[in-house]
DNA sequence: CCGGTGGCGCATGTATACATAAGATGGCCA
DNA sequence: TGGCCATCTTATGTATACATGCGCCACCGG
């Protein structure tokens, strides 16, 4: 019905609208969301609004307030760093499991295909960031899958859902091409090393490498944040930060 | 209003009732929950039922079905083991952070008090399991708190919410006193070692110890499951398992 | 001037009627 | 006899009216 969003129900559209507003910082952390106000603004009834709010709470973007109601979750700078580190810990565990238990051959093969794809993108003169982002995301997805643990995979997906903890966060903020190429090249080296460790069943090495790989993303954030407004401006992934 | 459950709203009561049914295995994994049926049975309208179902989805006990509706999440045996291991990984990270960043003095002091309390309970002739359970839970809560990371603390709380991943799961299934006392004594040694490592800022040791501590719980589960029906019967924490 | 108390208003809780879409079912036709 | 289509059932989606409960503010009494 709704060609714009591709969804049919009011609740779905409200969910998408509100999520976008939270992620963009338009609804800052700590903001309380009132059902009636939202219902009037979106021109629908309270019922689909409540459904949307519930789902946003599942995504951890909202928290239930005491005595009912929802409040936009607020993220401090330390939370961003901790979440990225947490992703490193979880992906490290995934890599370790893959090495210990043995990764599925088809997944490993696909990983090599993805790695070659990233090579092609990075070596190109003008880097296609969308293509890189897609391939990078798939690599991290494959890594989680290789763990062979549904529980772990699910948990990684949860943490990764936060925009600043996504493997492909902070990719669109590199102004100079040479710096970007160097950064992506280093990340790619780590990708290769992780797969190599998994294939050689070196679980400790695999875990350490995956952790360190996330650490690079953390360094990137810390660099962005140390330069305050100048760089932080226009970094979409950080729009929902509190301070 | 409701003296039994101590809650006031219909949604709260429905939440408690349904959660109990899922955890007890009365509603097996894969069961689809129909709003109308539940509403009639609990003699309330669909609205509070939907509220309760949403909250159960937040607790990961329910999953949203394609095309709407909710299904009871099903846990395989491997999921139990993986979740306990995941707790170990997360608590290991908490212990490492505490060692690296330095734990709050008040929390450390409280931890020592708890450890002395556990000593008293364990050395007693007939062990007061409720007292042990409460102290053990508090110890693990303190550990998460010592990490100094809200993100990590929250994630540990999420994982720990599952009954079989709780630090105090599988405590009421020990028939012989001597075995129990030995088990709890070993766990207590690990508790002490973890705190010692944190106090001496030995982060690697702290992380390893916390992981191994969870591993003990995992061994306990694997033992229970290897003896099938005989032991598994009557272990409340495992009631919601699929097979 | 201060403290308590009453009421009022707002936000969520609840019930219910109606809309809609997807799946089950039965019959009909090839 | 098998497959397809219409229809009907059923479950969720949505709107709306009413209930409830809590907090705030003002007013009154000391």
B55, B76, B86 member nearest A152 (Cβ): B86
Under the banding of pLDDT at 50, 70 and 90, the label for residue A243 is: low
- Per-residue burial over B139-166, b = 16 or more CB atoms within 10 Å of its CB, e = otherwise: bbbbbbbbbbbebbbebbebbbebbbbb
Torsion sign over Cα B96, B97, B102, B105: negative
Domains B3-72 and B77-240 share a fold: no
Confirm if B77 and B243 have CB atoms less than 8 A apart.
yes
Domain A3-72: assigned CATH number:
1.10.10.10
The answer to whether some atom of strand C lies closer than 7 Å to the beta carbon of A186 is no
Q: Which residues contact B240 (CB under 8 A, 6 or more apart)?
A: B22, B23, B24, B25, B28, B29, B75, B163
For residues B237 and B70, the answer to whether their CB atoms sit within 8 Å is no
Q: How many CA atoms lie within 13 A of B173 on its CB side?
A: 21
CA distance B58 to B78: 22
> Residue A222: pLDDT above 70?
yes
Cα B145 to Cα A121: distance, rounded to the nearest angstrom: 43
User: Residue A132's closest CA among A91, A186, A188?
Assistant: A188
Residue A63, classed as helix, strand or coil, is strand
* Side-chain-side CA neighbours of residue A154 (13 Å): 14
Tens digit of each residue's pLDDT (9 = 90 or more) over A163-177: 999 998 877 666 666
The rounded distance, in Å, linking the Cα atoms of A155 and A10 is 29
Topology given in CATH for the domain delimited by B77-240:
1.20.120
pTM: 0.91
CB contact under 8 A, A82 and B51: no
Neighbours of A158 (CB within 10 A): 17
Collect all residues of chain B within an 8 Å Cβ-Cβ radius of residue A155: 86, 155, 159
Helices (H) and strands (E) in chain A, counts: 10, 3
φ and ψ at A178, to 5 degrees? -65, -45
Model pLDDT, residue B241:
84
Q: Is the pLDDT of residue A71 over 90?
A: yes
CA distances from B169 to B129, B161, B165, B199 (A): 11, 11, 7, 27
Q: Where are the beta strands (DSSP E) in chain A?
A: 32-33, 62-64, 70-72
Q: What are A74-127's pLDDT values in tens digits? A: 999 999 999 999 999 999 999 999 999 999 999 999 999 999 999 999 888 788
Q: Is the pLDDT of residue A138 over 70?
A: yes
- Residue B128, token pair as written in the block: 């007061």
Q: Which residue is nearest to nucleotide C16 (CA to C1')?
A: B45
Residues of chain B with pLDDT under 50: 1-4
Query: Does any strand D atom come closer than 7 Å to the Cβ of A11?
Result: yes
Which residues 6+ apart lie within 8 Å of B137 measured at CB?
A: B166, B167, B168
Q: Which pLDDT does position B218 carry in this prediction? A: 92
Confidence of residue A220 (pLDDT cuts 50, 70, 90): confident
- Residue in A51, A54, A89 closest to B93 by CB: A89
Q: Give dist(CA A61, CA B160) in Å, integer.
A: 20
Can you give the distance from the CA of residue B128 to the C1' of nucleotide D28 in angstroms?
A: 58
CB–CB of B97/B206 below 8 Å?
Answer: no
CB–CB of A211/A92 below 8 Å? yes
Q: CA-CA-CA-CA torsion for A176, A178, A181, A183, nearest 10 degrees?
A: -80
Taking all residues of chain A, what is their mean pLDDT, rounded to a whole number?
Answer: 90
* Residues (19-58, chain B) with CB within 7 Å of strand D atoms: 32-37, 46-47
Give the domain ranges of chain A: 3-72, 77-240
Please state, for a pLDDT cut of 70, what percent of chain A lies above it: 91
Q: What average pLDDT score do residues A32-37 get?
A: 96
A65 CA from D26 C1′ (Å) = 28
Dihedral sign computed on CA atoms, order B3, B4, B8, B10: negative
Calculate the CA A156 to chain-centre distance. 9
**Contact between A75 and A241 (Cβ < 8 Å):** yes
Residue B243 tokens, joined: 């097979």
- Tell me how far the alpha carbon of residue B146 is from its chain's centroid: 18
Write out the H or E segment, with its range, that includes residue A26. Answer: none
Q: What are phi and psi of A64, to 5 degrees?
A: -75, 130
Q: Which of B57, B89, B151 sits opposite A82 (nearest CB)?
A: B151
Considering only CB atoms, which chain A residues are within 8 Å of B145? none
**Interchain proximity B151–A93, CB inside 8 Å:** no
Who contacts B46 (Cβ-Cβ below 8 Å, separation ≥6)?
B35, B36, B39
User: Measured in angstroms, what separates residue A48's CA from nucleotide C12's C1'?
Assistant: 15
- The rounded distance, in Å, linking the Cα atoms of A131 and B37 is 48
Predicted local confidence at residue A122, as pLDDT: 87
Q: Which nucleotides of C are covered by protein (CB under 7 A)?
A: 11-17, 21-23
Select from A55, A82, A152 the residue whose CB has the most chain B CBs within 10 Å, as the one to mutate to test that interface.
Answer: A82
- Please answer whether residues A3 and A218 qualify as being in contact, where contact means their C-beta atoms are separated by less than 8 angstroms: no
Nearest to A58 among B57, B76, B150 (CB): B57
DSSP secondary structure of B141-184: HHHHHHT--HHHHHHHHHHHTSGGGSTTTT-TT---HHHHHHHH
| CA of residue A18 to C1' of nucleotide D26, angstroms | 38
């Amino acid at each position: 019905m709704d060609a714009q969003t591709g969804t049919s129900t009011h609740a779905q559209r409200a969910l998408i609208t509100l999520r976008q507003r939270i992620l963009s910082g338009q609804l800052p952390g700590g903001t309380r969301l009132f059902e009636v106000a939202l219902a009037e603004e979106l021109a629908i009834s309270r019922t689909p609004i409540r459904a949307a709010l519930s789902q946003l709470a599942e995504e951890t973007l909202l928290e239930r307030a005491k005595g009912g109601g929802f409040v936009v979750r607020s993220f401090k700078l330390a939370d961003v760093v901790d979440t990225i580190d947490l992703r490193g810990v979880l992906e490290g565990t995934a890599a370790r499991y893959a090495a210990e238990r043995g990764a599925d051959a088809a997944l490993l093969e696909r990983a090599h295909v993805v790695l070659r794809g990233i090579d092609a993108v990075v070596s190109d003169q003008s880097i296609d960031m969308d293509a890189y982002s897609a391939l990078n995301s798939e690599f991290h997805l494959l890594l989680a899958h290789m763990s062979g643990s549904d529980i772990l995979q699910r948990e990684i997906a949860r943490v990764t859902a936060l925009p600043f903890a996504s493997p492909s966060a902070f990719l669109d903020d590199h102004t100079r091409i040479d710096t970007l190429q160097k950064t992506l090249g280093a990340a790619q080296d780590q990708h290769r090393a992780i797969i190599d460790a998994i294939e050689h069943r070196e679980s400790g090495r695999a875990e350490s490498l995956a952790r360190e790989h996330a650490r690079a993303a953390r360094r990137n954030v810390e660099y962005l944040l140390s330069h305050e407004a100048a760089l932080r401006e226009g970094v979409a992934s950080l729009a929902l930060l509190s301070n």
